[in-house]
Structure 1
Amino acid sequence: MSESSEENINNFSIAFYNLENLFDTLDDPKTMDDDFTSTAKRKWNEKRFRKKIRNLGFVIKQIGYSELQHPPVLIGVAEVENAFVLQELVNSKFLKKKEYDFIHFDSPDERGIDTALIYRKEYFKVIHKEAVYIYVENNKGVQDFTRDILYVKGLLDNEEVHILVNHWPSRRAGVEKTNHRRLAVSAKNKELTKQILSDDPNARIIIMGDFNDDPQSESVKNLTESELYNPMELLLTRYDGSTIYRGAWNLFDQIIITNNFLQLHGNDFRFKEAKIFNPESLREFKGRNKGNPFRTFMGRKYIGGFSDHFPVYGIFSIRNKI
């Protein structure tokens, strides 16, 4: 948050970050987390977990800091195992003085990875929270357990806002074979948006997440065809994105907003700019992967970085009512 005293305007950053498998070191018999134990091939132990927590806190503290001199007030995150890892993150070295709290529900995802919303208690007050269940099927007509949509309604600097945090089904089995799953989650987001707007036509909605699809993909385009605007469409280029696969950049991590954030006149809560947070410090600095996100694991090989995704964020301004 930064403040302009002349106009009495507060500026905030709101971010999304896929944390790349933020697991604790214990085996949960209910999920497929066996790779993230000390006896597994990845050798996921307390020392590596603590380094990962410290690294992620270091990143989050920096998002938007150069523009605002404050870290984000809201951060949607993906690939967290449970409430414990989130508690350790908000209590970590670089974040504990910022008084973050979080909202999290365990999802039915088979790997045990969930979404969550981290927020600064000084600026954001929670009104309502729920996990919205998603039903999707695989190509054989069998239910495919995926992440819920995390829905949070709250007051940001006394302005009401609705947040939907997403992590859409993976492309791992093939883009075309899995497309229907992402279309289903996209449709659910659209349904939720319409429900919120039917109750309040002026509602401000922010949909964020790792969509496992780019801004031009069918699933994302379906979501943004009417009430919603995607300010990140132009951020994906041959040279920039939020994650990379076989040398090609993708912008799976996106923040989508309702059109009322763009109104110029009589608008107290306004969207200003969208960015990818990708400084050199978060990139591989040498070798064939130079410039890529400096990740925690390369396959099963531990390299001790941050995440295989860069965070994305938007800057918003709120005019205080006097």
Structure 2
Amino acid sequence: MKSSEQFLSICSFDGDADLSWELQIANDVRDQVLSAMDKSEPPDNLTPKNHTNGYEALVPKDASDPWLLPIHLSNPQLITANSKELGCEDADPKCPEWAAEGECTSNAVWMMANCRKSCHSCQGGDKAWKLRTHIQANYHNSTDNVARIVRVESVRINNVEIDEKKQNVKVFGRMVLSWNDTNIAWDKNQWGLSWLNFYWIQIWTPQIVQLNGASTSNPGQVSSKVLAANYTGQVYLWADFSFSTPFKFQYEDYPNDMQKVCFKFDDKRLLAVHFTVSDGVKNKEREATTDPFVSGWKIVDVDVNVGSPR
């Protein structure tokens, strides 16, 4: 059983009752570990997959203020790389097919090196590619036993599935996380770039797992969509998530029942991350539940808190 100093929770309040009355749900904290594909060989024996292209960071070329980053990704777009840029070509004619099958994420090591155009890894052209290579050559993916401070910049709830018969609630959404990594800071005047996109395998990133999942075989999922940094070393991660948790519904106040459901998550590495929540999320400016689909219930509010397991 995992016992960390703190965890992060997203709590959805459902129903029409007075929000001053809350039912706290506390489940046993369980250590869940997500498995990640880390292949080092080219794609082989492709089979059809349900794949949605990842979101590219729509970052102003000369942006110096991190708040210029687009936090809500309701209409994701892809940056189209110019194939005429120096060094921005695919090494294999099958690269577009592999990219469409999702190999840019599942087989990122090989695809980033050989399918640069199809994987949209040419942001900034050859200059950006050389900067990534330079950063990786000198990068040490370690925390020196010091917890990194990771801030929740934005949360969006897209969908909530409620199964009252099975007593289970599942939430789908997107979040933006940020942290500082001085190992990837660079001189923007020397390199001519203010922003740079990375793949999650290239630099340190949080490894989010759910602590109160419905089962050990279904610990929830967090998939990284965009990883971008500015020249100061400030890193931003856009990620989609789905969390599922058992929940005992209470109906004593029908038809004004109000349920409070908590989804707890943490970094799977013990004490590796200390979470904080941005003021924008605390005051709801960067928290959204835009038209989520919830069967028979209405989402009244969502809170993101940092707390200690009980």
> If the length of structure 2 is used for normalisation, what is the TM-score?
0.27
Give TM-score, length-normalised by structure 1.
0.26
Which structure's relative contact order is higher, taking Cα pairs within 8 Å and 6+ residues apart? 2
